[in-house]
Structure 1
Amino acid sequence: MEKYAFIKELTKKYLDGDLSTLRMDYNSTKIATVDVIYEDYNKYRFDYILEIDKESKKVKFLKHFCEYGRDQIGLKRNKVFEDAVKEYLFEQI
């Protein structure tokens, strides 16, 4: 997992949270869904979900939310975070 340790730093820098879980689901040979799960200083958990296209080198925002009880609170996207993730991941490929 050291390969993706830099995502922890990006999460802290751009989302002001501590990385809890990083999920990467490979939907096909060219598309992956990345779910960055992080906590803020109040211990609330957030999900930031992106779709990565390896061929076109594009990042598509899917969802950013916080689950609170039975509710799911939608949050704004952070384009700077997305660009930083994209830049980092495509350096690794």
Structure 2
Amino acid sequence: MTWEEAGLTLRGRGLLLGLAFSDLKGRTAEERTAWWVEALRAHGVLVLTAGRSVMRILPPLIISDKEIDLFLSSFQDVLQTEMKD
């Protein structure tokens, strides 16, 4: 699956990333953004919004390998859950 097929656009610089959502499967970009933020928080990953349809990802400079693994596995799980619906 590509970013475009998932209705996602990744942008940013360095560790400051923005994941922009577009409408998909009858859900607005704003609804998807809010859902993703809550779903990742339920996995223990803290992310914020940057506007109505962008999720901001800003890890600390001293992020550990364990924290990176947590983020990646959580991201994959949330993406798979959303694509099933």
What's the TM-score bracket when you normalise by the shorter of the two chains?
Answer: 0.3 to 0.5
- Higher RCO (CA < 8 A, seq sep 6+): 2
TM-score normalised according to structure 2 size: 0.33
Look at both structures and tell me which one has the larger radius of gyration over its CA atoms: 1
Between structures 1 and 2, the one with greater strand share? 1
TM-score normalised according to structure 1 size: 0.31
